[in-house]
Amino acid sequence: MKPLPILVVEDDAALREALQDTLELAGYQVVGAGDGEDALAKLKTTRVGLIISDVQMQPMDGYTLLKKAKQQAPQIPFLLMTAYGELEKAIEAMRCGAAHYLLKPFEPEALLSEVAKYLLPASEAASTEWIAEDARTREVMALAQRVAATDATVLLAGESGVGKEVFARFIHQHSTRAKGPFVAINCAAIPEQLLESTLFGHEKGAFTGASQAQAGKFEQADGGTLLLDEISEMPLLLQAKLLRVLQEREVERVGGQRPVKVNIRVLATTNRDMPAEVTAGRFREDLYYRLNVFPLHIPALRERPGDILPLARRLLQRFAQQMTRPGLGFSPAAEASLLAHAWEGNVRELENVVQRAAILAPADLIGPEQLMLPPAQPLAPAAVMPAAGLAMDTIERRHILDTLASVGGARRLAAEKLGISERTLRNKLRQYREEGEGI
């Protein structure tokens, strides 16, 4: 897929033109900006895959632009052009999120080499349109971008649903391996007896049903990145074999006789307290330290409240496009409800709630009733007593709506669980809307 344009920021018009000519002759699209403010304005209206900026500019220098650009669009790689005397500052800027720096004067080939490393293709840029409004999220993203430039093993920790795999993909897409494969495997989702062959592959006849040789996930990720999702769920026996693979960077297929070299970067995720797992004897200490080269903790959604509404709006935009309902939006009361909720299920829970609200919304404006969130405060004991005195139609309505909520608003699944047809379910929901249920 064609790369996105490159934003070149240089207050010297002649030098900016020369840079643009070099890049355009190499086949790249280029957007020029004469200063930092111009660059930030263009960043709001134009999707770009790379920012290249001079350091010495007036009135806003390149370091200030770097900080502001990272707040506005943290996913976009940022290259600095700097003189030799500014080298120490340039290295410090890398700690603030810069991808790299170019020492002036440089040859066109050096510029094109750096562009080839860091420019995002349109497909990757689209998948990394990050929401990073909260300061804590920006801090984590800055760390992720810094470690992405290395080949270090990263252990991403955090509660279920915080987006650990999303951050792992961000690291891959900002690494030198971005053009290689990204292979993910959920260690908790595969039966123990199949996990070894899934990871390391097997030879023909290695076990019953192995009718042909099969490369494992390690071999499939050669030249790229392997994500071991929920690594804490891996059985102890396999942990020993994994440790050797990480040390030697070679795998031996099940039933195989010779090792196969692999060139991969390994990322792992966990939602558990890994030191506690080690102490309890459920996870090997030596493997933990091998994986924990660069620990990256992803905060829970409730710990980064500045992201809640921007994430909800982005999710709603996606679902509205899928449903061809472009006018969907949240009412102020609905947004207040979103902010008040604890989000124990994190971003995954938020996604389910937004999708459900988009399905149930009778009009373009979504109210708190369509969110179907539990009350902010626990109900009094009398309010949660069994509904023995309720009318049968009220009990039926509650059961239908609760079932619909449990499957994220998916009517087909809800109908299956209820044992009724989708048409009957649609008729029931239409009846509830007419009676003012606010579905």
Per-residue pLDDT tens over the stretch 29-38: 999 999 999 9
* pLDDT at residue 413, as a whole number: 75
The answer to whether residues 353 and 374 touch, using CB atoms and an 8 Å cutoff, is no
What is the distance, to the nearest Å, from the Cα of residue 327 to the centroid of all Cα atoms in its chain? 26
The structure's pTM equals 0.59
| Single-letter amino acid, residue 181 | P
Distance CA 183, CA 227 (A): 6
pLDDT score of 225: 95
pLDDT number for residue 382: 34
d(C-alpha 153, C-alpha 291), whole Å: 6
Q: Is 357 exposed, middle or buried (0-12, 13-18, 19+ CB in 10 A)?
A: buried
Average pLDDT, the chain: 84
Spatial distance between the Cα atoms of 111 and 103, rounded to a whole number of angstroms: 10
pLDDT in tens, the chain (439 residues): 467 899 999 999 999 999 999 999 998 999 999 999 999 988 877 888 899 999 989 899 998 998 888 777 767 888 989 876 666 676 666 666 777 888 888 899 989 988 987 887 654 444 435 677 788 998 998 899 899 999 999 999 999 999 999 999 999 988 999 889 999 998 988 887 788 888 888 787 666 666 677 788 999 999 999 999 999 999 998 999 999 999 999 988 887 778 889 999 999 999 999 999 999 999 999 999 999 999 999 999 999 999 999 899 989 988 888 888 888 999 999 999 999 999 999 999 999 999 999 999 999 999 999 999 987 544 333 333 344 444 556 667 777 887 777 777 777 777 767 767 676 777 788 787 777 765 6
Query: What is d(CA 393, CA 375) in angstroms, rounded to the nearest whole number?
Result: 23
**Cα separation of 4 and 10, whole Å?**
19
Q: Where are the beta strands (DSSP E) in 385-433?
A: none
DSSP calls for 108-165: HHHHHHHHHHHPPBHHHHHHT-----SHHHHHHHHHHHHHHTS---EEEE--TTS-HH
β-strand 265-270 against 225-229: which pairing, if any? parallel
Note the pLDDT of residue 386: 40
Give 178-187 pLDDT, tens digit per residue. Answer: 889 999 998 9
Residue 295: strand pairing partners? 155
Which helix or strand (DSSP H or E) is residue 355 part of?
Answer: helix 346-360
Residue 33: strand, helix, or coil: strand
Sign of CA dihedral 359, 361, 367, 369: negative
Q: Contact at 8 Å (CB) between 27 and 63?
A: no
pLDDT given for residue 395 in this prediction: 66
Q: Are 65 and 36 in contact (CB under 8 A)?
A: yes
